[in-house]
Structure 1
Amino acid sequence: MSWRILGWTVVGGVALLAAIGGTWLLLLPGAPSSGTASAISSEEAAATLAALKPPKRKRPLIAIVGINDMSETTDYLMPYGILARADIADVLTLATQPGPVTLYPALKVQPHATIAAFDAAHPDGADYVIVPAMSRDDDAAVLQWIRSQAGKGAIVIGVCVGATVVAKTGLLDGKRATTHWYSVRDLQKHTTIRYAPDRRLVVDQGVATTTGITASMPMALTLIEAIAGRAKAEAVAREIGLAAWDARHRSDAFSFTRPFALTAIANTLAFWNREQLGIALTPGIDEVSLALIADAWSRTYRSRALTFAATPQVQKSRGGLGILPERIADDWPAHQTLPDTVTSPPAQALDETLRAIETRYGSRTADFVAMQLEYPR
């Protein structure tokens, strides 16, 4: 009798959880709202550029800082690759500790220096500090270092959920800010921070923040324009395949919807159908295209992209950053090797990747990835 009671209890519990889960799904919106983002006024655009002018050097020093265990892939690599391509500043990637930085959800890189080595070489500090999303937003070493750089006059830029890291330093207190759509509530836990919707980039009193992952592309171009002028920014934009950029954004186009939740659940439950997809790591590889491709495929919940090479030797990217192969192999099975879109301009590479994801896994998964990247399709 006791086993029968236990059995019915388990069945009842499962039914209750299913009912709660079903109700939750039904209450989610069926789709994000549609519409067009409002244009940014010329006055606001000019104010943004003025606020991002180099605070110290004619040729600025830009530091991109991350923790060694899981800083976000595109947040860390895209600003570096675009700014290094522009060659209008000295750009360094940093880590809190010696050794490589394991990026999330894919790739591993060798940063240029630790924060301690940077401080020893540049006691006056950086002109700009770029802060990507990190697996932990409360790392004491990185928080203290960001505060110290701000105290030396650096403009601090929180990319995506890097905004919550900057928020933990106190530098956003009393200021306007934005972040990835999924983390807006986390940002709003800091009651003095004023969330600014419908802006992909917000600058307030020496601190800038952006929306989701792909927003680091227009952010980097805006920074290039502030440093070196519109013509230079337009030239770099053409190289990376981006026709236009500014701070316009429609926040309500990105939200936790029923299709998003159902895709996450279905792809997670399909644990028997996971793939590892290889990207050949070659010298001079474009780190921006590589980051976007690896990031996108690794966010399907069906696959993980990883780099492979014939030897464990660190490969230098187009911008001179050391990228470590994640697998040592002379070749990779053809059906598990990603198309060579890494040679495409970054914006084009991402569009090609989303189309390939749609072909392989369906439109819902492609939309699911684009929503995570906060990328308009």
Structure 2
Amino acid sequence: MSRTILLWGVVLVVLATAGFGGWIFSLPPATAAKAPPVPQAETDAVTAALRPSGRERPLIAVIGINDATETTDYVMPAGILRRANVADVVMLATGPGPVQLYPALEVEPDMTVAEFDAAHSEGADYVIVPAMSRDDDPAALAWIRSQAEKGSRIIGVCAGAKVVAAAGLLDGKRATTHWYYLRELLKRSPTTRYVANRRVVADGNVATTTGISASMPMTLTLIEAIAGRPKADAVAQDLGLGQWDLRHASDAFKVTRPFAATVLTNRIALWNHEELGIRLRSGMDEVSLALVADAWSRTYRSMVTTLADTAPSVLTANGIRIVPDRVTKDWPEGRYVTMFPDQRPATALDRSLEAIAARYGEPTTDVVAMQLEYPRAR
């Protein structure tokens, strides 16, 4: 998702309607709502809707456009599914060359959508659609429609729901999306029925999720549908999630004045901006990498640059090829971002948010969590 579209526009709207006064900096943040429980029958229905009906070992395609696809939406489902080893997972791009992720990382896909079609004319069992810089990419929309026509289950992650809607696959269906893009989705697909307080919503052969961090419970739900709850729980434990389900407190995620004020303050303080480095290592955990790089690149104070000793790419633990931004052994010691290698991925995200709070303060950390639509523990 474009950070400029998502947040800078919000700041301008708030300032235009409220005026640029000191009062905007003194209002408290919105109070987090408590997530209501999800009836077991509804959870079972979502799992049933995602249950495979084709190959014994499902084929899952994760599609991205080359110029800007959301970091965590693209990397995390592939990394977790390969970690679980319950399906064959292929990372695709609409065209040749690497996929530039947003707000950080660059990935070499396994193949293009054209190459996938040539190798798998019958289509994928599942297609995962991340958020993209635009929801009208002709190649992406045509391919997603063609996969749906072949019987693929389509899963729109975060603002990827807008892409699914643009493909005409949400008309008349229940759905959710990233909190900021809900109105835009409903404007594009007026007959879509929004479901609040759910991280994952399934209707027929289409599923959608709330914001960026929902790709983790979504992927676990898909693993449960494919291989059963015990397998999903084992993967969740490996990821560092003690509990996971479909519940979500939708009212906790909205534009607030402190949110807009923090974005504005951080954005205009150019003298405080810094470039932080992550050293890529062969065999590193790609889920932790995506979460940590994504979080640190959403502060409006910092951007993450990936570093490697050699080119052209570094292979992660589960076979994702990360293209380094810089090939160098030199980097200032005080400007490294830790990956918390001794922590599990979900815990690494929490530790990163704590580190962001220590470096930039709690308001900036709240801005990051709001963008990730992450129910941050306090």
Q: TM-score, normalised by structure 1?
A: 0.93
List structure 1 runs of 4+ shifted beyond 4 angstroms. Answer: 17-20, 23-26
1:42 CA drift (Å): 1.0
> Which residue is 2:361 aligned to?
362
C-alpha distance in structure 1 between counterparts of 2:136 and 2:243, whole Å: 35
> Which residue is 2:324 aligned to?
325
Deviations 1:118-163 (A, max 9, x none): 0000000000000000001100000000000000000000000000
1:46 CA drift (Å): 0.8
Deviations 1:165-215 (A, max 9, x none): 000000000001100011111111021111111111000010000000000
1:29 CA drift (Å): 8.1
1:36 CA drift (Å): 1.6
> Which residue is 2:43 aligned to?
45
Checking the alignment, whether the CA contact within 8 Å between 1:306 and 1:327 is kept in structure 2 is yes
C-alpha distance in structure 2 between counterparts of 1:276 and 1:32, whole Å: 30
Checking the alignment, whether the CA contact within 8 Å between 1:203 and 1:209 is kept in structure 2 is yes
Deviations 1:221-271 (A, max 9, x none): 000000000110011001100111111011000000011000000000011
Aligned residues: 361
Checking the alignment, whether the CA contact within 8 Å between 1:299 and 1:369 is kept in structure 2 is yes
Q: Look up the SS of the partner of 2:307 in the other structure.
A: strand
Checking the alignment, whether the CA contact within 8 Å between 2:289 and 2:339 is kept in structure 1 is no
> Which residue is 2:76 aligned to?
78
C-alpha distance in structure 1 between counterparts of 2:288 and 2:154, whole Å: 25
> Which residue is 2:174 aligned to?
176
> Which residue is 2:8 aligned to?
none
The share of aligned pairs that are identical, in percent, is: 60
Checking the alignment, whether the CA contact within 8 Å between 1:290 and 1:342 is kept in structure 2 is no
> Which residue is 1:372 aligned to?
371
Q: TM-score, normalised by structure 2?
A: 0.92
Q: Which amino acid aligns with 1:133?
A: A
Q: Which amino acid aligns with 1:54?
A: P
- What is the root-mean-square deviation of aligned Cα atoms in Å? 1.8
Deviations 1:10-61 (A, max 9, x none): xxxxxxx8785348986x9843243321111111111111000013111100
> Which residue is 1:90 aligned to?
88
1:316 CA drift (Å): 0.7
Residues 29 and 141 of structure 1: CA distance in aligned 2, closer, same or farther (over 3 Å)? farther
C-alpha distance in structure 2 between counterparts of 1:76 and 1:129, whole Å: 12
Deviations 1:308-355 (A, max 9, x none): 011223111111011111111113211011124155211011000000
C-alpha distance in structure 2 between counterparts of 1:314 and 1:293, whole Å: 19
Q: Unmatched 5+ residue regions in structure 2?
A: 1-14
C-alpha distance in structure 2 between counterparts of 1:24 and 1:153, whole Å: 55
Q: Which amino acid aligns with 1:159?
A: V
1:187 to 151, 174, 185: 185
> Which residue is 2:33 aligned to?
35
Checking the alignment, whether the CA contact within 8 Å between 1:25 and 1:258 is kept in structure 2 is no
List aligned pairs for 1:1-377, cutoff 5 A: 20-22=18-20, 30-189=28-187, 190-377=189-376
Q: Look up the SS of the partner of 1:64 in the other structure.
A: strand
Checking the alignment, whether the CA contact within 8 Å between 1:55 and 1:153 is kept in structure 2 is no
> Which residue is 2:11 aligned to?
none
> Which residue is 1:10 aligned to?
none
Checking the alignment, whether the CA contact within 8 Å between 2:288 and 2:339 is kept in structure 1 is no
C-alpha distance in structure 2 between counterparts of 1:249 and 1:179, whole Å: 12
C-alpha distance in structure 2 between counterparts of 1:260 and 1:25, whole Å: 13
Checking the alignment, whether the CA contact within 8 Å between 1:285 and 1:343 is kept in structure 2 is no
Q: Which amino acid aligns with 1:287?
A: E
Q: Which amino acid aligns with 1:368?
A: V
C-alpha distance in structure 1 between counterparts of 2:316 and 2:74, whole Å: 14
C-alpha distance in structure 2 between counterparts of 1:282 and 1:42, whole Å: 42
Q: Which amino acid aligns with 2:84?
A: A
Q: Which amino acid aligns with 2:153?
A: I
Residues 342 and 268 of structure 1: CA distance in aligned 2, closer, same or farther (over 3 Å)? farther
Q: Look up the SS of the partner of 2:242 in the other structure.
A: coil
C-alpha distance in structure 1 between counterparts of 2:69 and 2:176, whole Å: 19
> Which residue is 1:9 aligned to?
none
C-alpha distance in structure 2 between counterparts of 1:39 and 1:285, whole Å: 36
Checking the alignment, whether the CA contact within 8 Å between 1:86 and 1:236 is kept in structure 2 is yes
